[in-house]
Chains A and B, each alone.
Chain A
Amino acid sequence: MTTPSLVLELKQVCKHFPGVKALQDVDLRLFAGEVHALLGENGAGKSTLVKVMTGALAKSSGDIYFNGQNCSFASPAAAQQAGISTVYQEVNLLPNLSVAQNLFLGHEPRRFGLIQHQKMQQQAQQLLLRFKLNIDVTAPLAQYSVAVQQLIAIARGVAMSAKVLVLDEPTASLDSSEVQMLFDVMRQLREQGVAIVFITHFLDQVYQISDRITVLRNGSKVGEYLAADLPRSRLIEAMLGKELQQLTHQAATTTPAVAEPLLVLNNIAVKGSISGVSLTVAQGQAVGLAGLLGSGRTEVCRAVYGVDALSQGEIQFGGKTLRLQQPADAIKAGIALCPEERKTEGIIGPLSIRENIMLALQARRGWWRYLPVKQQQQLAAFYIDKLQIATPDADKPIEQLSGGNQQKVILARWLAINPQLLILDEPTRGIDIGAHAEILLLIKSLCQQGMSLLVTSSELEELVAFAGKVVVLRDRQKVTELSGDTMTAPHIMQAIAEG
Chain B
Amino acid sequence: MKQTQSCADSLQQARLARYSPGSIKASARYLWPLAALMLLLAVNLLLDASFFQLSFQDGRLYGSLIDILNRSAPVALLAIGMSLVIATGGIDLSVGAVMAIAGAVCANLLLQTELPLALVIAAGLATGIAAGLINGTLVSYLKIQPIVATLLLMVAGRGVAQLINQGQIVTFLRPDFAWLGTGSWLGLPLPIWLVIGMFALSQLLLRRTALGLFIEAVGCNATASRYLGVNDKAIKLFVYAFAGFCAALAGMISAADIQGSDANNAGLWLELDAILAVVIGGAVLSGGRFSLLLSVIGVLIIQSLSTTIIVSGVPAKFNLLIKALVVLLVLLLQSDKFRRQLSSWLPKLRKWRKGDKA
Contact at B22–A363, with CB atoms within 8 Å? Answer: no
Does any Cβ of B come within 8 Å of A370's Cβ? yes
Residue of B21, B223, B229, B288 with most partner-chain A CB within 10 A: B229
Closest CB in chain A relative to B212 CB, distance in Å = 9
With a CB–CB cut-off of 8 A, which chain A residues contact B213? 351, 355, 359, 362, 370
Partner of A392, one of B7, B21, B229: B21
Does any Cβ of B come within 8 Å of A364's Cβ? yes
Contact at B22–A393, with CB atoms within 8 Å? Answer: yes
Contact at A363–B229, with CB atoms within 8 Å? Answer: yes
> Interface on chain A toward B: helix, strand, loop, or mixed SS?
loop
Contact at B217–A351, with CB atoms within 8 Å? Answer: yes
Contact at A327–B227, with CB atoms within 8 Å? Answer: yes
Given A351-B220, A367-B211, A345 contacting B21 (CB threshold 8 A): no
Does any Cβ of B come within 8 Å of A4's Cβ? no
With a CB–CB cut-off of 8 A, which chain A residues contact B4? 242
Contact at B288–A350, with CB atoms within 8 Å? Answer: yes
With a CB–CB cut-off of 8 A, which chain A residues contact B211? 367
Does any Cβ of A come within 8 Å of B318's Cβ? no
Contact at A326–B231, with CB atoms within 8 Å? Answer: yes
Does any Cβ of A come within 8 Å of B19's Cβ? yes
Contact at B24–A19, with CB atoms within 8 Å? Answer: yes
Which residues of A333-351 have CB atoms within 8 Å of chain B's CB atoms? 337, 339, 344-351
16 A-B contacts (beta carbon < 8 Å): A21-B19, A218-B14, A326-B231, A327-B229, A331-B228, A348-B217, A350-B289, A351-B217, A351-B220, A359-B228, A360-B229, A367-B210, A367-B214, A368-B210, A371-B210, A393-B22
**B218 nearest in chain A by CB position:** A348
Given A344-B224, A362-B213, A371-B210, A242 contacting B7 (CB threshold 8 A): yes
Partner of A393, one of B14, B21, B288: B21
Does any Cβ of B come within 8 Å of A187's Cβ? no
Contact at B229–A364, with CB atoms within 8 Å? Answer: yes
With a CB–CB cut-off of 8 A, which chain A residues contact B223? 344-345
Does any Cβ of A come within 8 Å of B112's Cβ? no
B interface residue numbers (CB < 8 A to A): 4, 7-8, 11, 14-15, 18-24, 208-211, 213-214, 216-217, 220-221, 223-231, 288-289
Does any Cβ of B come within 8 Å of A241's Cβ? yes
A interface residue numbers (CB < 8 A to B): 18-21, 24, 218-219, 241-242, 305, 307, 326-328, 331-332, 337, 339, 344-351, 355, 359-360, 362-371, 390-393, 396, 413
Contact at A348–B11, with CB atoms within 8 Å? Answer: no
Contact at A19–B209, with CB atoms within 8 Å? Answer: no
Task: List 8 A-B pairs, minimum CB-CB distance, nearest first.
Answer: A392-B19, A363-B229, A19-B23, A331-B229, A360-B228, A392-B21, A328-B229, A370-B210
Partner of B18, one of A18, A21, A331: A21
With a CB–CB cut-off of 8 A, which chain A residues contact B18? 20-21, 24, 218-219
Closest CB in chain A relative to B241 CB, distance in Å = 14
Closest CB in chain A relative to B163 CB, distance in Å = 37
Contact at A19–B19, with CB atoms within 8 Å? Answer: yes
Contact at A367–B209, with CB atoms within 8 Å? Answer: yes
With a CB–CB cut-off of 8 A, which chain A residues contact B230? 328, 359, 363
With a CB–CB cut-off of 8 A, which chain B residues contact A307? 227
Closest CB in chain A relative to B31 CB, distance in Å = 15
**B215 nearest in chain A by CB position:** A367
Closest CB in chain B relative to A326 CB, distance in Å = 6
Contact at B226–A218, with CB atoms within 8 Å? Answer: no
Closest CB in chain A relative to B134 CB, distance in Å = 23
Closest CB in chain B relative to A437 CB, distance in Å = 16
Partner of A337, one of B20, B217, B221, B227: B227
With a CB–CB cut-off of 8 A, which chain B residues contact A347? 221, 224
With a CB–CB cut-off of 8 A, which chain A residues contact B228? 327, 331, 359-360, 363, 413
Partner of B221, one of A19, A348, A369, A390: A348
**A337 nearest in chain B by CB position:** B227
Residue of A344, A348, A365, A371 with most partner-chain B CB within 10 A: A348
Closest CB in chain B relative to A430 CB, distance in Å = 17
Determine the distance from Cα of A368 to Cα of B206 in the docked complex, in whole angstroms: 10
Closest CB in chain A relative to B14 CB, distance in Å = 5
Determine the distance from Cα of A327 to Cα of B22 in the docked complex, in whole angstroms: 36
Determine the distance from Cα of A308 to Cα of B229 in the docked complex, in whole angstroms: 15
**B226 nearest in chain A by CB position:** A327
Sample of 11 more A-B contacts, CB < 8 Å, known A351-B217, A367-B210: A18-B23, A20-B20, A21-B18, A218-B18, A241-B7, A327-B226, A328-B226, A328-B231, A344-B223, A348-B225, A392-B19
